[in-house]
């Protein structure tokens, strides 16, 4: 089953568009155990899991991280590695192979490095191993405009366009399994959605702590919301996950 289909089935089964980001968990002597506790607690209200470097580093890729992935899979949740792949092709291929061998269903990659000798090897590995690739189109933080918001010359049309819109076009050309557009920028979600035409799902981080609104992102065209600190650092993660899940639907 493809990664896109896994996400769709999980979202339908859980009646949720929330992807839990285990990027920052409360300070703990045992980050693995705390991660498992949070995952089990909020599982009824999420449709996927995303893990970032800051959790992989202390746990180890083929040790604690793989155990968390296995737990998520047992709960029926697809797992995304937020590694923002952004190197030369040879290195990118090895990065992707290792994350996929650890059990990740998809990786996030940065289209700034281009296709040939850039992200092409990542897509080739993903196809061979039946995994997914999600492209960064517009990040959620305040200075995202410095890179993704630049005006550039589109090499295919020679016209001057916004960088993030060119990246959205590349997502279609490269047959990506998803794109990232920050929930903090619903107007950009709308622009990207018009280009993608619903063919590629939009994942939107930045809900809550960064100021993004769940309902506004969904209304603009996001299919999935990536939510981290608003849940993981909450005094009641289960309640917070339920409230955010419901706010995205109402």
Q: Give 112-121 pLDDT, tens digit per residue.
A: 999 999 999 9
| CA geometry: angle 39, 44, 50, nearest 5 deg | 45
Of the candidates 34, 67, 84, 215, the residue annotated as catalytic is: 84
pLDDT of residue 244: 94
Q: Give 4-26 pLDDT, tens digit per residue.
A: 999 999 999 999 999 999 987 77
Q: Give 132-154 pLDDT, tens digit per residue.
A: 999 999 888 888 787 888 888 87
Structure tokens at 193: 């959605």
Residue 250 has pLDDT above 70, yes or no: no
How far is residue 13 from each of residues 46, 47, 199, 207, measured CA to CA in Å?
Answer: 10, 8, 21, 22
* Spatial distance between the Cα atoms of 22 and 18, rounded to a whole number of angstroms: 12
Residue 6 known to be catalytic: no
DSSP summary character for residue 157: T
Length of the chain: 250
* Spatial distance between the Cα atoms of 176 and 200, rounded to a whole number of angstroms: 7
Q: Give 166-200 pLDDT, tens digit per residue.
A: 999 999 999 999 999 999 999 999 999 999 999 99
Q: Give 99-110 pLDDT, tens digit per residue.
A: 999 999 999 999
The domains found in the chain, sorted by start residue, are: 3-249 (3.20.20.70)
């Amino acid at each position: 089953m493809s990664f896109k289909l896994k996400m769709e089935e999980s979202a339908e089964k859980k009646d949720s568009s929330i992807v839990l980001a285990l990027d920052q968990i409360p300070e703990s002597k045992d980050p693995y155990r705390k991660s498992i506790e949070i995952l089990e607690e909020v599982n009824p209200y999420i449709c996927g899991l995303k893990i970032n470097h800051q959790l992989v580093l202390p746990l180890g890729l083929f040790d604690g991280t793989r155990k968390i992935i296995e737990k998520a899979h047992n709960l029926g949740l697809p797992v995304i590695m937020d590694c923002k792949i952004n190197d030369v092709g040879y290195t990118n291929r090895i990065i992707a192979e290792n994350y996929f061998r650890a059990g990740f269903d998809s990786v996030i990659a940065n289209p700034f490095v281009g296709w040939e000798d850039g992200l092409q090897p990542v897509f080739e590995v993903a196809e061979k191993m039946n995994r997914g690739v999600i492209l960064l189109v517009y990040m959620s933080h305040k200075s995202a405009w410095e890179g993704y918001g630049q005006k550039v010359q589109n090499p295919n049309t020679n016209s001057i366009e916004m960088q993030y819109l060119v990246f959205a076009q590349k997502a279609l050309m490269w047959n990506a399994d998803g794109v990232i557009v920050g929930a903090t920028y619903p107007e950009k979600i709308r622009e990207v959605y018009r280009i993608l035409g619903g063919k590629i799902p939009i994942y939107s981080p930045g809900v809550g702590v960064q100021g993004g609104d769940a309902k506004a992102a969904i209304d603009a065209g996001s299919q999935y919301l990536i939510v981290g600190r608003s849940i993981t650092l909450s005094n009641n993660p289960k309640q917070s996950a339920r409230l955010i899940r419901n706010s995205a639907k109402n």
